[in-house]
Amino acid sequence: MQIGAGGAGHAVAFALMDLGVAVLVVHDRDTARANALCSDLAEHFGASRCRIARDVGREIAAADGIVNATQVGMRGFPGNPVPVSAIKSTHWAADVIYTPVDTEFIKAASARGARVLSGDGMCVHQAVEAFRLFTGVTPDLARLHRAFAVGYEAREAALREAV
C-alpha cells in the first residue's frame, strides 16, 4: 500500500515494481494523480499490478507493507497520513521523509510492532545513485550514512537552540 502519487510516489512505485511487488495499491488525495500513476505503472508492468485504493484502512490492513510517499509528516507539514488503527505488527512501514527521520508515521508503525524504514535511507541511496551517475564513481555507502547522521544531528541541534 502506497500513500502518495506525486513525484516521490512515482519513483517509489517504480522501485517497488522493480523489486517484485505483486500488486501495488495506491491512494492519493488527488485521485487524478493516483490514476495517472497506476496508468504509468500499467504501461510498464501490466494493468493487473496496480490499482487505486477503495477503502484506505482496509487496504492497509490487508497489505504486507505501507509506504508514505507524501509530504505529511515532514517538518512544516505535521501529521500522519496513515490510519494508525490499520497498522499491524506484521507490516513493514517505509517513509520517504527524512526531516524529521522519525515521523509520526514511523513512530506509530514502530509502536505497533511493524518493521520500519525511515527516509534517511532513501535520502542516502538517492545521493549514492546521483553521485554515481554524475561522476562514474560509486561512493562509500557506509561513509555517506555516517555523514548524513552527523549532518542531521547537527541541524537538529541548531534547530533546538533556535527555539
Looking at residue 163, its pLDDT comes to 79
The pLDDT confidence band at residue 150, using thresholds 50, 70 and 90, is very high
pLDDT one-digit tens code per residue, 122-134: 899 888 989 999 9
**Coil, helix or strand for 13?**
helix
The pLDDT confidence band at residue 44, using thresholds 50, 70 and 90, is very high
Cβ–Cβ < 8 Å for 103, 95: yes
DSSP conformation letters of 124-142:
HHHHHHHHHHHHS----HH
Does 15 share its domain with 75? Answer: yes
Does 106 share its domain with 84? Answer: yes
Does 23 share its domain with 83? Answer: yes
Q: What is the count of structural domains for the chain?
A: 2
- CATH classification at residue 7: 3.40.50.720
Burial of 130 (0-12, 13-18, 19+ CB in 10 A): exposed
Range of the structural domain that residue 48 is part of: 2-117
Mean pLDDT for all residues in the chain: 95
Does 54 share its domain with 127? Answer: no
What pTM value is reported for the model? 0.89
Does 80 share its domain with 128? Answer: no
Does 80 share its domain with 137? Answer: no
| For range 58-81, the mean pLDDT | 96
